[in-house]
Amino acid sequence: MDAIEKDLHSRKKEIQDNIEQLFKDNISYTDWDVPEADDTEVANILLNIFKETINKIESDVQSGKYINF
């Protein structure tokens, strides 16, 4: 395992927790803004937004956007 893998592996749980907290926070924000919202629907829409964003980031990585970031 190289230094990059060691670093990210050591922070993996923290990264996962941050993503999960972002997800939960956004469900809560929608609950506050739309009290009658179906949380399952909100969760599915959020997942689609996250997937779109991950796909865009992946495309940016492949195109070299993060070289010398």
What's the confidence (pLDDT) of residue 6?
A: 97
What's the confidence (pLDDT) of residue 2?
A: 96
Got the DSSP string for 31-53?
A: HHH-TT--HHHHHHHHHHHHHHH
What's the confidence (pLDDT) of residue 35?
A: 93
∠47-14-8 over CA atoms, to 5°?
Answer: 100
* CA-based nearest residue to 46, from 61, 57, 31, 59: 31
What's the confidence (pLDDT) of residue 1?
A: 80
Tens digits of per-residue pLDDT, 24-69? Answer: 999 999 999 999 999 999 999 999 999 999 999 999 999 999 999 9
Cα–Cα separations (whole angstroms), residue 25 to 20, 33, 67 = 9, 12, 31
* pLDDT band at residue 16 under the 50/70/90 scheme: very high
What's the confidence (pLDDT) of residue 4?
A: 95
Where exactly are the structural domains of the chain? 38-64
